[in-house]
Structure 1
Amino acid sequence: MNKVRGFEIVSEYEGKDVVLPERATQQAAGYDFQAAEDIVVPTIWNVLLKNQALQQNEASRLPLENKEYLASTLVPTGIKAYMQENEYLQLANRSSNPIKNQLSMPNGVGIVDADYYGNEKNEGHIYFQFINYGLTDYVIKKGDRIGQGIFMPYLKADGDTNTGVLRMGGFGSSGK
């Protein structure tokens, strides 16, 4: 049977009770992804308050390049996705995450290209990135549903000539 689209466990997480994404209901568009391990998503307020204190204390004022900045937390899923070359997997936050857990995806949605699957850097491992705007750190437990993936087709523009550039790396590797 020819594989068209679906999910597999990346080799690093084989035998670690990682669950393949599933749709929660018959009419659900998205496949629910779970966290592959426990991970803490720190509150953004710690960094903001620390920087505010540094700015108020002239003696300890740091040059711009040395300040601590807000950073996203990458949450591993232990999953990779295969699909046709004219498709991508759109990663979206769970609708309950912002209201219940104060977790937001800073990129809005994630895009997993078909050629991300099996790349040499990370085998196509899918991560969700979050920031926590709650007042305290938030702990995502292994097995918590963290987001959803929706397979989508895409169209190419007239005159598109990109026929030979191959992906060489993992997360964020298609940037110039």
Structure 2
Amino acid sequence: MSAIEVPFTVFEHGKGLPAPFQATAGAAGLDLSAAVPAHEPMIIAPGDHDIVPTGFALGLPDGYEAQIRPRSGLAAKHAVTTLNAPGTIDADYRGEVHVILINHGKQDFVINRGDRIAQMVIAPVPRIAMIETNSLDKTDRGAGGFGSTGVST
């Protein structure tokens, strides 16, 4: 499979950090690093949230989005996750990528410069044309929502 080329720029506070990268050949997400000052770690108290800079901006091609997702290790070990999961970066956004983290844990969560804080998945987004109609096709589920399919088989 050929790579999709995504240009990016690095801000001054992001210099020296690794570019977003796929840690393994089979990884779907690109790891994102915290661009906090080396001498000033960010601390997120239990129950609190904060916006973490990454130090770069994207030039996504038309027809793509970037999804900012939690890292499973942070969730499992520290109860830290992204607050709006997944966060969406639209193809026409050119500002710095930030990650909103929330600490659901019982202890302060310390973010040091270069810590991997989230992952970014680049995904295609089709153009959608909404078409109003008076009726929809029938399905087995119908209008059943929130838990209507049950929790076990």
TM-score by length of 2: 0.74
Give the corresponding residue for 2:57.
80
1:128 corresponds to 2:99: yes
Runs of 4 or more consecutive aligned structure 1 residues displaced over 2 Å after TM superposition: none
- The aligned length equals 124
Counterpart code for 1:148: Q
How many angstroms apart in 1 are the aligned matches of 2:106 and 2:53? 23
Q: Which runs of 5+ in 2 are unaligned?
A: 132-153
Give the corresponding residue for 1:144.
115
What SS is found at the alignment partner of 1:20?
coil
| 1:80-129 Cα distance to aligned partner (Å, 9 max, x none) | 11111111111111111111121022212110011111xxxxxx101111
| CA drift at 1:159 | 5.8
How many angstroms apart in 2 are the aligned matches of 1:108 and 1:146? 13
| Structure ranking higher in helix proportion | 1
Aligned alpha-carbon RMSD (Å): 1.9
1:40 corresponds to 2:40: no
1:8 corresponds to 2:9: yes
- 8 Å CA contact retained: 2:82, 2:118: no
TM-score by length of 1: 0.65
- 8 Å CA contact retained: 1:6, 1:83: yes
| CA drift at 1:4 | 4.1
Within a 5 Å distance, the mapping from 1:17-96 to structure 2 comes to 17-37=16-36, 38-44=41-47, 72-96=49-73
What SS is found at the alignment partner of 2:106?
coil
- 8 Å CA contact retained: 1:101, 1:134: yes
What SS is found at the alignment partner of 2:76?
helix
What SS is found at the alignment partner of 1:76?
strand
What SS is found at the alignment partner of 2:96?
coil
| 1:6-51 Cα distance to aligned partner (Å, 9 max, x none) | 33212x425x42221111011111111011112111111xxxxxxx
- 8 Å CA contact retained: 1:35, 1:77: yes
Q: Which runs of 5+ in 1 are unaligned?
A: 45-70, 118-123, 161-176
| Structure ranking higher in strand proportion | 2
Give the corresponding residue for 2:80.
103
